[in-house]
Amino acid sequence: MKNLPPKILLATANQGKVKELRDLVQGLPVQFVSLVELPDFPEVIEDQDTFEANALKKARTIAKAAGMVTLADDSGLCVDALGGRPGVYSARYAGEHATDAQKCLRILDEMRHVPDGQRNARFVCVLALVVPDGEENLFLGVCEGRITKELRGSAGFGYDPIFLFEPEGLTFAEMDRDAKNRVSHRGNALREFASFMKGLAR
């Protein structure tokens, strides 16, 4: 990709994600649209073994269906003491319809005997940018942290209440959204993407 595309489809219906991206690349002559604006998009089953493969599968499928440059993501929590789990299974680790609290409690239960010095974990986010002609680019964001021994905080979502960001001494669920976005895995991946896009505009 040598030039900025006039329009990029975000493979999400989450308007919060759309706004976050628009804020990061404001000033660029690119229109970002979401799946909300395409009612007949195909469902994509995220059944791959890596975040990269899941993000690419989603982006490739939707780019082909829509005929548009497409940006998709996959993300999750990787805990060292659990051999990297839940990883790509983060969304359904406690069952297909489990609540966020149930997901967190399953991790805490599995780690109830893990000592403080062995509770390292990281959030990982991969963004895949796919052009219908086949060009692909990946952007990686990682945030290192530790797993707490109890739920802490009420903001955020997913595993945020048990993920301690040590430089702040707070879990992601105890941080305000702006502070979290400055250090989060997703924020880091989006900044990599935004830098790439700005490079195309030069």
86 prior amide bond cis, ω within 30: yes
Cα 5 to its chain centre, rounded Å, is: 23
What would be the CATH architecture of the domain defined by 7-201?
Alpha-Beta Complex (3.90)
Q: Is 74 one of the annotated active-site residues of the chain?
A: yes
38/53 Cα distance (integer angstroms) = 23
Q: Active site residue: 23, 40, 49, 74, which one?
A: 74
Residue with tokens 């893990």: 114
Taking the C-alpha atoms of residue 37 and residue 196, their distance in angstroms, rounded to an integer, is: 25
Provide the residue ranges of all domains of the chain, joining segments of one domain with +: 7-201
Say what the pTM is: 0.91
Q: Using the predicted structure, report yes or no on whether residue 121 has a pLDDT greater than 80.
A: yes
pLDDT of amino acid 72: 94
Assess whether pLDDT exceeds 90 at residue 38.
Answer: no
